[in-house]
Amino acid sequence: MHISDGVLSFPVIAAGYGVAIGITAFSLKKTKTEDIPKIAVMTSAFFVASLIHVPLGPTSVHLLLNGLVGILLGWAAFPSIFMALLLQALLFQFGGITSLGANACVMGIPALAMAWLFQKRHRFSFSRKDEIFSLIAGGGAVFLGAVMLALVLTLSGSQFITVAKLAIVAHIPIMIIEAFITLFIIKFLNKVRPEIIEGI
Amino acid sequence: MHPEVDQYAFLVSPIHKMDPRLKILSLLIVAFSFAWLKTPFFSSIALLFSFSLIIISHLPLGFVIKRLGHIMLFLVPFFFFLPLTVPGETLFSFLRFHVTYQGLQLALLLFLKGIAIVLLIFPMLATQPFHYTIKAIEKLGMPIKLVWMLAFAYRYLFVALGELRNMRLNLRARGFVSKNNFFTLKILGNLVGTILIRSLERTERIQRAMIARGFNGKIEILNSFKAKRVDFFKALVILFIGLFISFGEFFWKR
Whether B111 sits inside 8 A of A6 (CB atoms) is yes
A46 in Cβ contact with A69 (< 8 Å): yes
Q: How many CB pairs below 8 Å do chains A and B form together?
A: 231
CB within 8 Å of B156: residues ≥ 6 apart: A40, A41, A44, A45, B199, B202
Residue among B112, B125, B146 minimizing CB distance to A93: B125
| pLDDT-based confidence at residue B115 (cuts at 50, 70, 90) | very high
Partners of residue B121 in chain A, C-beta under 8 Å: 89, 93, 95, 97
Highest mean pLDDT among A102-106, A157-161, B133-137: A102-106
Residue B43 has pLDDT above 80, yes or no: yes
Partners of residue B34 in chain A, C-beta under 8 Å: 98
Residue B80 has pLDDT above 60, yes or no: yes
State how far residue B191 is from chain A, nearest Cα, in angstroms. Answer: 8
Q: Answer positive or negative: Cα dihedral of B4, B10, B13, B14.
A: positive
Lowest mean pLDDT among A62-71, A79-88, A93-102: A93-102
Measured CA to CA, the distance from residue B94 to residue B107 in angstroms comes to 19
Task: Report, in this order, helix, strand and coil percent for chain A, each rounded to 5.
Answer: 80, 5, 20
Partners of residue B117 in chain A, C-beta under 8 Å: 5-6, 95, 97-98
Q: Output the pLDDT for position A15.
A: 95
- For an interface test with A, the pick among B86, B145, B186, B190 (most A C-beta atoms closer than 10 Å) comes out as B145
- pLDDT mean across residues, chain A: 89
Whether A98 sits inside 8 A of B32 (CB atoms) is yes
CATH class (in words) of the domain with range A10-198: mainly alpha
Whether A159 sits inside 8 A of B106 (CB atoms) is yes
Q: Output the pLDDT for position B1.
A: 52
* For residues B89-102, average pLDDT: 79
> Angle A145-B195-A178 (CA atoms, 0-180°, nearest 5)?
30
DSSP annotation of B92 reads E
State how far residue A120 is from chain B, nearest Cα, in angstroms. Answer: 23
CB within 8 Å of B108: residues ≥ 6 apart: B40
Tell me the DSSP string of A154-183: HHH-GGGHHHHHHHHHHHHHHHHHHHHHHH
State how far residue A171 is from chain B, nearest Cα, in angstroms. Answer: 15
**pLDDT tens by residue, A147-170:** 999 999 999 888 888 888 888 998
Q: Is A76 exposed, middle or buried (0-12, 13-18, 19+ CB in 10 A)?
A: buried
Residue among A10, A41, A56 minimizing CB distance to B199: A41
Partners of residue A3 in chain B, C-beta under 8 Å: 74
DSSP annotation of B5 reads T
State how far residue A126 is from chain B, nearest Cα, in angstroms. Answer: 24
Task: Give the residue from chain B lying closest to A79, CA to CA.
Answer: B146
**pLDDT tens by residue, B146-204:** 988 898 898 888 889 999 999 999 999 999 988 888 899 999 999 999 999 998 888 88
Residue B223 has pLDDT above 80, yes or no: no
> Angle B203-B209-B211 (CA atoms, 0-180°, nearest 5)?
105
Measured CA to CA, the distance from residue A178 to residue A134 in angstroms comes to 10
Partners of residue B31 in chain A, C-beta under 8 Å: 5, 97-98
Q: Whole-prediction pTM value?
A: 0.90
The domain segmentation of chain A, as residue ranges, is: 10-198
Measured CA to CA, the distance from residue B234 to residue B251 in angstroms comes to 25
State how far residue B74 is from chain A, nearest Cα, in angstroms. Answer: 7
State how far residue B232 is from chain A, nearest Cα, in angstroms. Answer: 23
DSSP annotation of A186 reads H
Task: Give the residue from chain A lying closest to B114, CA to CA.
Answer: A6
- Give the burial string for B116-146 (b: 16+ CB within 10 Å, else e): bbbbbbbbbbbbbebbbbbbbbbbeeeeebb
Measured CA to CA, the distance from residue A115 to residue B135 in angstroms comes to 32
Q: Output the pLDDT for position B2.
A: 63
Q: 10 Å Cβ neighbour count for A152?
A: 24
Task: Report, in this order, helix, strand and coil percent for chain B, each rounded to 5.
Answer: 70, 5, 25
Whether A33 sits inside 8 A of B81 (CB atoms) is no
| pLDDT-based confidence at residue B222 (cuts at 50, 70, 90) | low
| pLDDT-based confidence at residue B225 (cuts at 50, 70, 90) | confident
Q: Output the pLDDT for position B25.
A: 94
Tell me the DSSP string of A14-46: HHHHHHHHHHHHHHHHHS-GGGHHHHHHHHHHH
Whether A31 sits inside 8 A of B116 (CB atoms) is no
Measured CA to CA, the distance from residue B203 to residue B199 in angstroms comes to 6
Measured CA to CA, the distance from residue B88 to residue A158 in angstroms comes to 13
